[in-house]
Every structure is written in structure tokens, then in C-alpha cells.
Amino acid sequence: MALKVGVIGTGMIGQDHIRRLTQVLSGVDVTAVTDIDATRAASAAPEGAEVFATPQDLIRSDNVDAIVICSWGPAHEEQLLDCIAAGKAVFCEKPLVTSEAAALKVMAAEVEFGKRLVQVGFMRRFDADYRRLKAVIDGNTLGAPLMYKSVHRNASVPEGLYTSEMPLNDTLVHDADISRWLLSDEISSVEVRVPRRSTRGTDLRDPVMVMLHMQSGAIVDVEISVNISYGYDIRGEVSCETGVAALPNRPATVISDQYGIRQAIPEDWRERFIEAYDQEFREWIVAAGQGGATGPSTWDGYAATLVADAALRAVDTGAREPITMIEKPEIYS
């Protein structure tokens, strides 16, 4: 029987996930949607889906087995707590929440429930290139990872996300998560360096260089640009004891003509990670069908939130800001 899914938030990524859940993947039906913009919810609703006035009504509906949260970050806490209270599996887009206190509340509720219900939308973990990179590191043929370089460039900033904190509290969370996952390590402190600002985004703190110090002593350097105009450019390179493994931007057809040798660059995350999003939902549908979750957890969302908070503090202090995590609850090991 198909998993009956309700989607909260029918903006950019909500609509993209509804498309993949209704047109690409099997074993799933979108039976309900809701958005604070009722007109947007109605126009995004697939045929036959009920449009609910509030997330709470959708979560409680008998016609919804599992929930996909695609609302803005600050709304996630309440919606996650309602899903956990209803005992329903929930896929929540990143960021899990927007404060340490909120992450601890969600974690406490899930631990009290007794098993994982929450999966966080860190889709890079489902990307074939990142999975191959991790296999090389885990295979240990190059020795221990010592340094990782993560490049995260966006062409522009969506309307509504335009704040000076955005590169650190919205974008950096992906690099924080993928660094922890690739290196099988935790982040112990964070430094931020702010170079001359790009004149393209005058209110944005853009670009930024972030240094993540890992518990093992490995160091990650992250370049964040959210307004670089030419396209979506994601790269990674891990330097190990006896070799280097690199993840280039998505390979594309190479065109040679009178202008030179060129490759197209993905426009945005939808294009670059299209298969990764498909795969994260393929795996979620199976796990949620069994009433649970797989992949990135509340613990991982908590870790990324701590990094975003520490990075924002580091901008103010100019210092290396430490991160202290609580003991990992059993359900996340």
C-alpha cells in the first residue's frame, strides 16, 4: 500500500518535492498539503490531495501517514514537535531548526518517543559522487583524512533569504554536515574569515571563509558564496596521508568551438542534486513506511545548528569558537 504523505510548505522546494513524489517515485501518494499562503497550497496540491488550513490539521489527519516539512527554518520546531507527538515519520528540510535550544527540544521529544522518526534533508549524503568520495576515505587506501576543502557557490540568493547571516545559518549547514559524514568526525570549533564583500549583494556577508576544526585534528576549509552569478558550483577535495580524492562540480558535456572549451554549470541545487533528492526520498519512503527514518538524523541537524551558531559568534569575536555537544542519545548511534 502506498505511503500517504502530507507536505507542509509549498514554495520552491516543496513544489519540487511534490513533483518527485507524484511523478518520479513509486510507493507514495501526496494526499495533503498546507501552506500559510493558501493560494499557493491550492495551486501546488496534486489532484485529489486535501488542502489543510494549518500544519496541525494536516499532521493529525488519518489520511496522512508521514509528513514532509518544507516550510521556512524557524517554523520547523513546532511542526516537528507536532509530528513526533502524533508518532508520525517526518522528513524535514534543512535546517532542522534555527537554535540549539530548539534542536535539544526536538531531540528530547524523539528520545522520549523511543525511536527515530525524523530525517533531515541533507541530500548530499545521497549523491552518488559524495558516496564514492566517502567510500574512498572509508576504504583507507589513501590513509587518514587530514584536510578537506569544500566549495559551495550559489548564483544568487532567493527572495526572502536576504539577510547578512544567511550564508552561515542557511548555506553552511550542508558543508558542516557533509564534513562530519565524510570524515566520520565531529566538529569541535569554528573560525570565520570575512574577505572584502562582493558588491553584488550589499547587505549580505558574502563571500565567507569558514574553518571547521574536527575532533580528530583534521581541518576543513569551506568557501561559501551565495551570490556569485555564474551558477551553482559545488566541489570537495580531501587530502589524506598518501593521496588526494576530489569531487569536481557535476560533469557535463564538453563543448569545443571557436570560443574555447566549455562545460555547462548547473543553475542551482535543483539541477545539481536532482538524483540525490530522488534517492533521499526513495530511502525515506521505505523507512517511513516502517514508521521510522534513515540517514541524517535529529542528531545531525543538532550538530549543524551548533556549527551555524558558532560561526555567527565567530564573526563577532574573530576568535575560534568552541562547540560543546551533549552526550549522543542511544537512538542515534
Binding site for ligand ISE (CB under 6 A): 94, 154, 161, 170-171, 174, 226, 269
The interface partner of residue 40, options being ligand ISE, ligand NAD, none and the CB cut-off 5 to 8 Å by kind, is ligand NAD
Q: What does 154 bind: ligand NAD, ligand ISE, none (CB cut-off 5 to 8 Å by kind)?
A: ligand ISE
Whether the link from the prior residue into 145 is cis, omega within 30° of 0, is no
Hey, how many other C-beta atoms are within 10 angstroms of the C-beta on 241? 10
The reply to whether 13 sits near ligand NAD by the rule CB under 6 A is yes
Sign of the alpha-carbon torsion through 54, 60, 65, 70: positive
Question: Among residues 50, 109, 108, 107, which one has the least CA distance to residue 84?
Answer: 109
Asked if 103 interacts with ligand NAD (CB under 6 A), we say no
- Could you say which of ligand ISE, ligand NAD, none residue 37 binds, taking C-beta under 5 to 8 angstroms by partner kind? ligand NAD
Which of ligand ISE, ligand NAD, none does residue 70 bind to, with CB < 5 to 8 Å depending on kind? ligand NAD
Q: Which is closer to ligand ISE, CB of 12 or CB of 81?
A: 12
Rounded Cα gap, residues 296 and 72, in angstroms: 19
Instruction: Using the structure block, give the residue that is written with the C-alpha cell 488550513.
Output: 53
Q: Report the residue number, 147 or 274, with the smaller CB distance to ligand NAD.
A: 274
Minimal distance, residue 276 CB to ligand NAD, in Å: 9
311: helix, strand or coil: helix
Q: Which of 32, 52, 55, 284 binds ligand NAD (CB under 6 A)?
A: 55
Measured between alpha carbons, how far is residue 236 from residues 21, 142, 223, 278, 303 in Å? 29, 16, 10, 22, 20
What is the spatial distance between Cα 332 and Cα 113, in angstroms, rounded to a whole number? Answer: 13
Nearer of residues 161 and 204 to ligand ISE, judged by Cβ:
161
CB of 166 to ligand ISE, least distance (A): 7
Residue 147 interacts with ligand NAD (CB under 6 A): yes or no: no
Vertex 9, ends 7 and 13: CA angle to 5°?
90
Q: Please pick, from the candidates 77, 129, 170, 177, the single residue that binds ligand NAD as defined by CB under 6 A.
A: 170
Q: How many of the chain's residues bind ligand NAD (CB under 6 A)?
A: 26
Taking CB under 6 A as the binding criterion, the range among 72-80, 211-219, 314-322, 325-333 that sits at the site for ligand NAD is: 72-80
According to DSSP, the residues that pair with 55 across neighbouring strands are: none
What gap in Å lies between CA 203 and CA 298, rounded to an integer? 31
Which segments of 248-311 are extended strands (E)?
A: 254-257, 260-263
Per CB under 6 A, the segment of 20-28, 70-78, 183-191, 227-235 that binds ligand NAD is 70-78
- Would you call 239 helix, strand, or coil by DSSP? strand
User: Does residue 269 bind ligand NAD (CB under 6 A)?
Assistant: yes
Q: In the complex with ligand NAD, which residue's Cβ is closer, 96 or 218? A: 96
Residue least distant from ligand NAD (Cβ):
11
Instruction: Of 154, 178, 148, give the one whose Cα is nearest residue 166.
Output: 154
Q: What order of strands is seen across the sheet that includes strand 244-247?
A: 244-247, 233-240, 145-153, 219-225, 208-214, 187-193, 321-322
Q: 133 or 178: whose CB is closer to ligand NAD?
A: 178
